[in-house]
Structure formats: C-alpha cells, structure tokens
Structure 1
Amino acid sequence: MIGVLMLGLYLGVMRQQGDQPLAWVVTALAVAAVLAGYGAFHAAPRRGWALATSGVLLAALGLLAILSIGLPILIAGGLALVAAARSGRRHSPGR
C-alpha cells in the first residue's frame, strides 16, 4: 500500500515540477507494490520470495531518494523485509 501511495506521490511531484518521471523508477515501484500485494496473501506460493524482492527494491529506491521522498519508501522496504523473514515461520494453532 505504501509503495502504491509513493508511486502516486512520485508521479504527482514529477508532474508538478514539469519533469518526466523516470521509467525505471515507476517500473520498480510498481513491481515492488505488486509483489508486496501478492505477498500479503498468506497462502501464496513463493510468498517469502515476493516479499523479499519487494523489500530489496523498495529499500534500494528509498536509499536513492532519501533526500526527497525516500524515507517512506525505505520504511515500506523494511516492513516488506520483516514480513519476508516472518513468512518462513510456521504458526502453530492457537497462536
């Protein structure tokens, strides 16, 4: 969700400044958002891989944009990486 919001914010900022959004940034944010959305389903096969990939993409983009809109993107990447780490754990019934 944060990735989708940041994609919209990025496009809005670029439009407001009269600049063209970078295709690779838009693609990376969109792919990361789709992977995170896929990883939100607990029964999804390869859920951990999707969340880890999303987390790495978002963390890298967040670091690149840290001086502008990078902090929320970096936080989203961290959350995706935590979710990826937790996806490997098996939850016992009753928890």
Structure 2
Amino acid sequence: MTNNDRPAEASDDQGSRAIPAAPSTGTLVIHIWSEAGPGSGFRARLTYRKQDDGEPAMSYFATPADVVNAVREWLDIPSDPTHPR
C-alpha cells in the first residue's frame, strides 16, 4: 500500500508500504477503528511527518501486523530482534 491509499474493503493484501525512516524528531499518530463487512473489519491510519515538513502524510492498513511493521519501519527497528542493527 502506498501513502494516501485506503485498503480494499476486506483485502489483507497490502502491497508495498512506503513509510520513510524516522526523522530525528517527528510525529507518528495511529488511529484505529472497526468496519462492518467481511474480514476482521480492522482498519488503521498512520499519520506522520518530520518536524520541519509541511502537511503530514498518511497510510492505511487492514491488519494489526501491518501497522506494527510500518511503525518498525518508521522507527527503523529491525523486525527480527535477534538481529539488531
């Protein structure tokens, strides 16, 4: 999934999530909600920006695991804790 794209109704296929690595200072907000329909209904929106950027960017996700992975990317934390940077 790319920035500013909403997930398909019940699709868990997120594709590529282009969330930039965390800046030295910045803001990342996670908003979660549930939608009726097929699948889990889980939805999340990540809103993020660098301290000196203009408008914040947004990405949307349909699974908690995708949210965790996106936050790890933004914070530049390896997904495998046994292999630190």
**What is the TM-score with the length of structure 2 in the denominator?**
0.32
Larger RCO (CA within 8 A; separation ≥ 6): 2
More strand by share: 2
TM-score (normalised: structure 1):
0.30
Q: Which has the higher helix share?
A: 1
Which structure is larger by alpha-carbon Rg, 1 or 2?
Answer: 1
